[in-house]
Copies of this chain bind each other. A is one copy, B any other.
Amino acid sequence: MSFERVSVVGAGLIGGSIARRLHEVGVLAGVVDSDPATRSAVAAAGLPVGDVVLAGSDLVMLAGPLDTIGALLTEAATSAPDAVLVDVGSVKTAVHAAVAAAGLAERYVGCHPMGGAELSGFAHSDPALLTDVTWAVTYPDSLGDGWMTRTGAVARFLLEMFDARVVMIDAVEHDASVALVSHGPHVLANALLEVLEAADAPAARHLAAGSVRDATRVAGRNPVRTLNMLADNADALAGVLDRLIAVLTDYRADLDAPRDGALLDRLEQVDRDAAAWRDPDLTWTACTDLDTLLRERGASRAAFLVRAGLDGLESAEA
């Protein structure tokens, strides 16, 4: 299974960047977007635009807003009856549930590129935005027929087209992980911005430098997209916020006696841990027998990494 006629639905920052990259490498069949101005911009960029997904598509990548994915999936499934369906949203359990409810589980693979999220709109799209970044590929609790072949083909496609670092991961663990590394940090950025703004401190604006710039980079930025992201992952995110509040409350308490040793111990521990987060040792597992691994650990929440050696994956069901 390989993909040579790929349709992209939704040409915002992410969908637009995917479409531009696929157009570059010659596998873009067409772009669909509900907004006439976006369609014009896509056409002006020289990309093929259509009103509906082309019937002959072998892969459809859905990049519309999270709250429209259910409807887009059904539409695409009908328009392109033979296509594998992929979405690229930042929350996965809700989409897996919608896919199962629509009876499309046998045609679906969940994806999530970990890149380029603070801007939005086709105007900012870039064929290189989602290349050479990590793409999560998610799997549901129960793996139906053809899952290995379909998922392996999508993973290979991402490796070849985007030079992706593919992380194969259970959908529940994916959502818990992005609550930690993406949605939690987004709320922190927003919270800092709110506190800065409420302080009514003109001098603070003048003294703000790199710390504020980096800490608020993702603050605000497309409120509807952010709402969907936070709302669809509310449970996992609530747990992360509870933990952040608890740690900040500890720091607040430490400030009552900052030089009694406890705060320094804490700062030293963070310093030791921080290096590993900045420069993680990501050992890529070449999954020559991913099928065995997945079935052995069917109920676990382990992540499986695939950088190369997908042959085992694709041949497991051959």
| Partner-B contacts on A (CB < 8 A) | 114-118, 133-134, 136, 167, 169, 173-174, 176-178, 180-182, 184-199, 201-224, 226-227, 230-231, 234, 237-238, 240-245, 247-249, 251-252, 255-256, 258-259, 263-264, 266-278, 280, 282, 301-303, 305
Q: Which 5 pairs between the two chains have the least Cβ-Cβ distance?
A: A220-B271, A220-B274, A231-B258, A203-B303, A223-B267
A273 touches B197 (CB 8 A): yes
Name 28 interchain pairs, CB-CB below 8 A, sorted by A: A115-B209, A167-B207, A169-B207, A177-B206, A178-B207, A181-B208, A181-B209, A182-B209, A185-B192, A185-B215, A191-B248, A191-B251, A192-B244, A195-B244, A198-B243, A202-B303, A208-B280, A213-B278, A220-B271, A220-B274, A221-B274, A224-B264, A227-B259, A241-B251, A242-B252, A244-B248, A245-B248, A245-B252
Q: How far is the CA of A8 from the CA of B265 in the complex (A)?
A: 31
B277 touches A255 (CB 8 A): no
A240 touches B195 (CB 8 A): yes
B207 touches A211 (CB 8 A): no
Contact partner of A189 (CB less than 8 A), chosen from B181, B202, B204, B215, is: B215
| A180-B199 CB under 8 A given contacts A185-B192, A207-B114 | yes
Copies in the complex: 2
Question: How many whole Å from A30's CB to the nearest CB in chain B?
Answer: 29
B211 touches A274 (CB 8 A): no
Report B-chain residues with C-beta under 8 Å of the C-beta of A226.
267
Report B-chain residues with C-beta under 8 Å of the C-beta of A197.
273, 277
| A204-B177 CB under 8 A given contacts A195-B184, A215-B214, A252-B242 | yes
Q: How far is the CA of A125 from the CA of B230 in the complex (A)?
A: 41
A273 touches B133 (CB 8 A): no
B180 touches A204 (CB 8 A): yes
B169 touches A203 (CB 8 A): yes
